[in-house]
Amino acid sequence: MTSEPIPSIPPQSVAVLRTLSPALRGLERGLRGWLDTSRRYPLSMMQRATLEGVATDLRRQSDALDVDRPLLVVMLMGGTGVGKSTLLNALAGGTIAPASFTRPTTRDPIVYYHESVRPDRLDPALRHCKLIPHDRPNLEHKVIVDTPDVDSTELANRDKLLRLLPVADVVLYVGSQEKYHDQIVWDIFQQQRKRRAFAFVLNKWDRCTHTSATGTRPDEDLIADLQGEGFVDPQLFRTCAQLWLERAMGMATPEPPEGEQFRELSTWIENGLTRLEIEAIKARGVGQLLTHTREALAEAAPPDLGEIPQRVQAAWARPLAEEATTVADTLVNTLEPYQREIEHHFALEGQRRFRGIMGWYLQFVTRARYASSSLRERIPFVSRSARKVETPAAWDLALFTSACADVASNSQLDARGRALVDRLLIDADTQGFPLSVLTEPVEALAKIDWRQRWARGLTEGLDQIEKTWTKPRGVRRVLQGGIVFLADWVPPVALLAALGNLLWKAFDPQGKGLSNGWLDILLPAIILGVVLFVLQLLIYLLLPLRWAAIREQFHDELERRVREELDSVYHKVPIELAEELERERKQVEKLIADTGEVATWLSGREQSANIGGLYGRA
């Protein structure tokens, strides 16, 4: 996956926010494409939820800014009974939201917007709220939203607020003497403060003019708390919303207490947040969103493993070597009860070197020697036929090795394969390789058809030993060639010589004839038998092909093949995974770089307006 190129941003101009919209849309497409692409490095549930939220916010911001003059959304947030609805009614100059002093009243969010704004221009999250239009020109480009009481016992109210907060440009944190630092509201404020502008209202100011038992007024205590959160000069308004609502309704009311600032709040919303401030707040909100995007991407990025894969490979060398030795031992031990059949197989293969009389003689002797041996009848894990059959001249080596591999796997090797995976993962974890990436592919390798691989190793190992013994090199090759030459030619020469001697005696011109009778007639066969026996004895002594002689060599050959098989499967995994993670890391770095490019361009925008008090230091 490669992120889409971010549209170039023109120099700062009047339509700066509208020109920012395509860049945010490009970031959203790139982030969405990355989220939808399958990756090796997993995201935690919270990381995915955060990035999904970021992508949604990028899309929302790009849509909201794609206008000549964007709307500023001011959202009221606070606990039960602090007077949010009363404050909205006072700002509206009449009762538009139900209010109560005794229980949470606001259940459905209320959107107070100018009648010139078409409802379809509102964010989709606001269109499903209770919409109340007005004709006040000073609020033409501002939308005020009253939200449910966040600390209500009805959890659905809190969910409604959390769904609406991403729409807010400025959050009015409304509190009262009793509830200006309610934990639930304060936690949401701490979560949102890096991405939203915040102004603060201490309502019911007529109850806050006296100091508490600690000697600190509620507004002073709240300011101290906000300064602790990085708000050097927080925008705080002290109001008596109920008093101003009653005045707007024509009721007689006393004068506001000293320090009351409802007029200042109303003026700030209507006239203080000018187009310049709105653009600055929008830009700052986008900047904070971009900062949050980079932080979320950096947290979700795969780690830089460096030399860890090479260290894992080195750590795995020992357990893989030990596993190869154990597998070879197990497979060779499985063959032990069938060494007679293996020798039979080698004898049949070895006799192919001989021709003529010697070849026929060896075939006869081999059949006689192994006449009582039937591989199919002696091996319990090979299916038997209904009638006894003789040992075949051509042995089914593949069937034999496959059956042996099945027995070895059932008895030990399957369990050892699972234990090997655990050991490899422990060693990798010790070296610092993330198991969240490594566990699944390594466990999948333990489930491949190892039995078939062990059977192939047995077959190839036996074939290699057979070639080594039947087609040797060096001195052994010369010796074997000499014996084969003698075995091929001496018997027929001896037979011809004996027959020639028999014919000479039979037709002797001196008339002696066959003086020994039947002995003379049988003499060629006797001579041939003696020659064949002597040659067979010579072959047995000089060219032995017995299990005891080849067992160790076969074990070493099998161990080598098993080690190569294990290495080919497991050894490359850390490097391949590291390469995948590096590619994924570069994709994330590209997204971070694109986000940083847009953020850098926006960094100076907020300095053009006096909105510093709405934000705390990070």
Beta strands in 109-158 (DSSP E): 110-114, 130-134, 142-146
Query: Tens digit of pLDDT for each residue in 529-562?
Result: 888 888 878 877 776 667 777 788 888 888 999 9
Query: Tens digit of pLDDT for each residue in 243-298?
Result: 999 998 888 888 999 889 999 999 999 988 887 788 778 888 888 889 889 999 99
Query: Higher confidence at residue 466 or residue 415?
Result: 415
pTM: 0.64
- Domain boundaries, given as residue ranges, for the chain: 1-68+278-300+579-618, 70-260, 308-571
72-78 vs 110-114, strand pairing mode: unpaired
Average pLDDT over every residue of 422-446 = 93
Query: Tens digit of pLDDT for each residue in 307-363?
Result: 999 999 999 999 999 999 998 888 888 887 777 777 766 766 666 777 888 878 877
Exposure letters 474-499 (e unless 16+ CB within 10 A, then b): eeeeeebeebbebbbebbeebbeebe
pLDDT of 384 above 70: no
Backbone angles phi, psi at 370, to 5 degrees: -105, 20
- The answer to whether 350 and 359 are in contact (CB under 8 A) is no
Query: Higher confidence at residue 135 or residue 285?
Result: 135
Average pLDDT over every residue of 449-456 = 85
Predicted pLDDT at 545: 65
pLDDT of 442 above 90: yes
Apex 293 CA angle, 289 and 297, nearest 5: 175
- Percent of the chain predicted with pLDDT > 90: 32
Predicted pLDDT at 604: 56
Average pLDDT over every residue of 212-225 = 80
Average pLDDT over every residue of 417-421 = 90
Residue closest to 220 by CA, chosen among 202, 203, 204: 202
Query: Tens digit of pLDDT for each residue in 155-197?
Result: 777 888 888 888 898 999 999 888 888 888 898 888 888 778 8
For residue 429, name the pLDDT band (cuts at 50, 70, 90): very high
- The three-state secondary structure class of 236 is strand
Query: Tens digit of pLDDT for each residue in 554-612?
Result: 888 889 999 999 999 999 999 999 999 999 999 999 999 999 998 887 775 555 556 66
User: Residue 81: left if φ>0, alpha if ψ -120 to 50, beta else—which one?
Assistant: left
Question: What is the third-level CATH fold of 70-260?
Answer: Rossmann fold (3.40.50)
